[in-house]
Structure 1
């Protein structure tokens, strides 16, 4: 059921033709979509784990537009960005196909506008709303992104190692 590949953006495929599996530094987004006291989550098709909607920023695309686009593409939900709440560098990762990547993550707090949440592409196998106080098991880094969005007030949180 899980373990299928997540689609790779065309521009990344073109880069991979040149660099193979070497480490790529990519801009990414996490869209924490809130509605009342719930957060929108997807169960990823590649690993079966729950997560907020995430995605890679296309060349020339503003990260806030990426967040809105990815939410619509993956869940059928329309949202609006309320705030950039956290900028962080992820640990390097090795994807199932052997590609090495590291992401500059922009976590956005988004607000639900309309639409019925459903699986809208092949990146997830399930979509649902969860109380922010009762999240399903997920990567602690993703829980921290949700917490940053829910608790956000004031300036953007910058995660700087060693500073």
Structure 2
């Protein structure tokens, strides 16, 4: 999805400078397999997620992001943890810099996922042991390590 009106408004005043934004991450799994998505802007595999909009509940944001990026509906099983710091700083192709502080939710699919073809080019189910060999956003390792069986 293109940047929200809120982000566009901020960017019109600060340009490409670093924005610190609240985010959400969906950890979708079936047993020991995790659903990862290849992101169009980086080519890297990661978990599905995005920014929380002003006035939006984070749980609603994670459901919205999954709906927008995967066309799927989810149930939220709980919060895994909250993550931030340098590993979650992203520079987008247009030069915009964002530092996310993301709440990771454990989610269960209610409907089949399909990548949107805009933000996500591909999805795949991966065993935990196989994720380390992928070209990925390495911060997801912290999240996946915190997922309880």
What is the TM-score of this pair, normalised by structure 2?
0.86
What displacement does 1:62 show? 0.8
In the TM superposition, what whole-angstrom CA distance separates every residue of 1:89-135 from its partner, at most 9, and x where no partner exists? Answer: 2314432222222111111111222x222122510111222223322
SS in 1 for 2:130: coil
Q: How far does the alpha carbon of each residue in 1:66-94 deviate from its partner, in whole angstroms, 9 at most, with x for none?
A: 11111121112211111111112231443
CA distance in 1, matches of 2:90, 2:118: 21
Mind listing any 5+ residue stretches in structure 2 that lack a counterpart? none
Matches of 1:76 and 1:101 in 2, distance apart? 25
Distance 2:115 2:32 in 1: 21
User: Which residue number in structure 1 is paired with residue 94 of structure 2?
Assistant: 97
Give a deviation string over 1:45-77, Cα, whole Å, max 9, x none.
001111110200011111111111111211122
Equivalent in 138, 143, 146 of residue 141 of structure 2: 143
The 5 A counterparts of 1:58-97 are 58-91=53-86, 92-97=89-94
Deviations 1:18-46 (A, max 9, x none): 11122211111111011233211111000
Give the direction of change, closer, same or farther, for the CA distance of 1:76–1:128 in structure 2 (3 Å limit). Answer: farther
In structure 2, C-alpha distance between the alignment counterparts of 1:52 and 1:93, rounded to whole Å: 14
1:124 match? 120
Segments of 4+ moved more than 4 angstroms = none
Q: CA RMSD in A?
A: 1.8
Select between 102-111 and 134-143 the one with higher mean Cα deviation.
Answer: 134-143
